[in-house]
Amino acid sequence: MNKKNASCIAIGNFDGIHIGHDALIRRMIDLSHETDQDSIIITFKYVKKDLKKSNYNIKYINSRDIKLELLKSYSVTDVVEIELDDVVSKYTPEQFIKQILVDKYNARNIVVGYNFKFGYKAGGNVNTLRELQDKYGYKVEEIYPVKYNGIAVSSTLVRKLLTEGKVHEANNLLINNYTIFDEEINIDFNKNTAFVDNRSSILLPADGRYKVKAGNKDMILTIITNKSGSVLTFDKKIEQNQNIVFMDKIV
């Protein structure tokens, strides 16, 4: 169903909601209030492995379901996940703008990050959006990089810090401390251990010992990786339906 109301849209992959994503989304929400438009977040679901570079081996900061939950916590009009299937993935940048942003969601304001790319083979960028804004009747706003210690904050940077075990630094960039949600992994509650297969898309910090919280309990979590995956061992009894919030690495 086509959207009748004019919309203010934020677009991005939004893997792990970091301070750069937050700035982009909040600017879109403010702009939607200023213009009395619906506020919509658009993100993507890659349904074919070859639609994203190295998609087969990529590890995500948040699972798809958790990402959508976090985006919905902004209380916007709608959170839309576009499946990049055989049809949509082959849209030219102009087709994507016209058929999805304009025709389907009635975009009148579009907010994107400085490095946003879209369309077939990532052929479109912020300049493409600007070049076509008069033709399709919308305005585009670019959010410049949010920097931390002089470095542009990105999901790639957060991922790098986590894989190096630098949880405290990663937490400084994330809106919420890095968390493994209980539904993302299988925990053996009798043994207080969990196993994450190497084929899992869930990102784990580097091997080591970490201060974590599970519910109201402070715990020590030890991560040891072998050829088939990673073993997580808790030093205290862990209960069901409790997320694992990483606080810092124990040196």
pTM: 0.90
Residue 204: closest CA among 178, 241, 169: 178
Confidence of residue 46 (pLDDT cuts 50, 70, 90): confident
C-alpha gyration radius of the chain: 20
Domains observed in the chain: 7-144 (3.40.50.620), 178-250 (2.40.10)
Q: Which residues pair with 248 in a beta bridge?
A: 211
Residue 149 CB partners (closer than 8 Å, separation 6+): none
Give the tens place of pLDDT for each residue, 111-170. 999 999 999 999 999 999 999 999 999 999 999 999 999 999 999 999 999 999 999 999
The whole-chain average pLDDT of the chain stands at 92
SS3 71: helix
